[in-house]
Amino acid sequence: MTKNYLPRVAGRQTMSLLLVFVLALFGAQQSDAQTITANQIGTQGGYTYEYWKDNGTGSMTLGSGGAFSVTWSNIGNLLARKGLRPGAKNQTVTYSASYNPNGNSYLCVYGWFTSPMVEYYIVDSWGTWRPPGGTSVGTVTSDGGTYDLYRTQRVNQPSIQGNATFYQYWSVRTSKRTSGTITVANHFNAWQSRGWTVGSMYEVSLTVEGYQSSGSANITSMSMGTGGSTTPPPTGGGGSNNIVVRARGANGTENMRLTVGGTQVGAWTLGTAMQNYSVTTSATGGINVEYTNDATNRDVQVDYITVNGTTRQAENQSTNTGVYQNGACGGANSEWLNCNGYIGFGNASTTAGRLLTESVAATSSLDAAAAQVYPNPSTTGNFMVQLPAGPARVTIRNSKGRVVQQLDAVGPATIPVQLDTQPGLYYLQVTGAGESVATRLAVE
């Protein structure tokens, strides 16, 4: 009996531990599949979620990552969403959904701007009524589809700042879909081109909204990334020198900054994929791409920079104080920054107008056929610019070389450009992947 007693106790302990583990695992799975029936905001799966309704019956069930499902019945108004707060102006949203509305409903990317406060919708599908009604003021082509543009106003209605009067910006797809990628920058730029102010980011979310209706939706997958580059407020001020740095981090958390003449004009946290990081500045002098290595296994690779459309390859530069060569920090002719240091790329010129004029006549390897503008000339100052695939910056300068308008977008896309300027000759430059094409614009 004694010999058998201890093993039996150990067996019971093992079974007890196993039972605790199973219950914990079951509880964790239930937590991932949490169902919400009361208005609530929280974080789960790496995203911020919000469930809100005014009356009626509904529920939201949280899935893994960006996934969620929602049902509603005889509601007044209901929103279920997952996304990022504040998000970024170059956010991309990739999703797949099963969407079954019965009545008025939207499947969309949704969010708010502040300063000024604006509610926005990028609608991919809808129920029995196509929002928001009225007449479209234009279109934008993005992510394989065409979207109609609208602006409406809400007076003394609920908002993120209580009851208020505010604008709504709309991009509504001309044909429905329930999966794909939405590149928000293309829509933000289209709204800005019409003089609609795009303020500070408050939210970017994939959203299901129901209004005086019933229905269900299952977002089986949703993920968010970034496409192209977001220009931070340059501390060097605005101006006519456009500098694009193409770089990546080995770890994805490296911090890089750009200085011109010793003045910081841009700073970014890098991802692991090559991206373009852009600034426009009036600063002149030596251009340095700088890196501070604050941890192990972190390095920065700089492919090249462009200055007003002219490419300067990192491996051709004779000053690189951050590369690790021959057993020490410092060297030359390398794309890598392994230590604290910088790559020197020469000087920023004050003759941006002259450089642009030269680039108009130059031969470029960017696909000129994919970067087109029409109508040209224009009697209204309104143009449509067709962009090639990939991140692109559209810059328009007057005959003296001064920047009069600049937009970031991700192609392939066709974006509207509206010039509220005097008749005359202007220069349009499309820069992408370190290369550029330019053409003359005529406003009659």
Residue 315 known to be catalytic:
no
Candidate list 50, 203, 209, 290, residue with the active-site label: 209
Candidate list 50, 119, 203, 335, residue with the active-site label: 119
d(CA 228, CA 232): 13
The 3-class secondary structure across the chain, one letter per residue, is CHHHHHHHHHHHHHHHHHHHHHHHHHHHHHHHCCEECCCEEEEECCEEEEEEECCCEEEEEECCCCCEEEEEECCCEEEEEEEECCCCCCEEEEEEEEEEEEEEEEEEEEEEEECCCEEEEEEEEECCCCCCCCCCCEEEEECCEEEEEEEEEEEEECCECECEEEEEEEEEECCCCCEEEEEHHHHHHHHHHCCCCCCEECCEEEEEEEEEEEEEEEEEEEEEEECCCCCCCCCCCCCCEEEEEEEEECCCCCEEEEEECCEEEEEEECCCCCEEEEEEECCCEEEEEEECCCCCCCCEEEEEEEECCEEEEHHHCCCEEEEEECCEEEECCCCEECCCEEEEEEEECCCHHHHHHHHHHCCCCCCHHHCEEECCCECCCEEEEEEEEEEEEEEEECCCCCEEEEEEEEEEEEEEEECCCCCEEEEEEEEECCEEEEEEEEEC
Residue 358 known to be catalytic:
no
Does residue 412 have a cis peptide bond before it, meaning omega lies within 30 degrees of 0?
Answer: yes
* Residues annotated catalytic, as ranges: 119, 209
